[in-house]
Amino acid sequence: MTWLGIGVLVIGIALLVLVLVLIKPLLNLAGVLTSVQKTTDQLPQTVSDLTSQTKEVMGTSVETLNQVNTQIKELSPLFYTVGNLGRATNHLSSLVVNVADETKTKTASANKLATNKNLEGLYGVLTLGYFLFKNGKK
14-21 average pLDDT score: 93
> What does the pLDDT read at residue 99?
85
Mean pLDDT over residues 21-27, rounded? 93
Query: Do the Cβ atoms of 120 and 114 come closer than 8 Å?
Result: yes
Spell out the residues 6+ positions from residue 114 whose beta carbon is closer than 8 angstroms to its own.
Answer: 120, 123
pLDDT for the residue 104: 76
pLDDT digits (tens, 9 = 90+) for 37-61: 998 999 899 999 999 999 999 999 9
Note the pTM of the prediction, 2 decimals.
0.42
Using alpha carbons only, give the angle 39, 45, 47 rounded to the nearest 5 degrees.
Answer: 90
Distance CA 80, CA 74 (A): 11
The contacts of residue 9 (CB under 8 Å, 6+ apart) are 1
- Rounded Cα distance between 113 and 138, Å, is 34
The string of DSSP codes covering 87-103 is HHHHHHHHHHHHHHHHH
**DSSP assigned state of 125:** H
pLDDT at 115 > cutoff 70: no
pLDDT of residue 111: 63
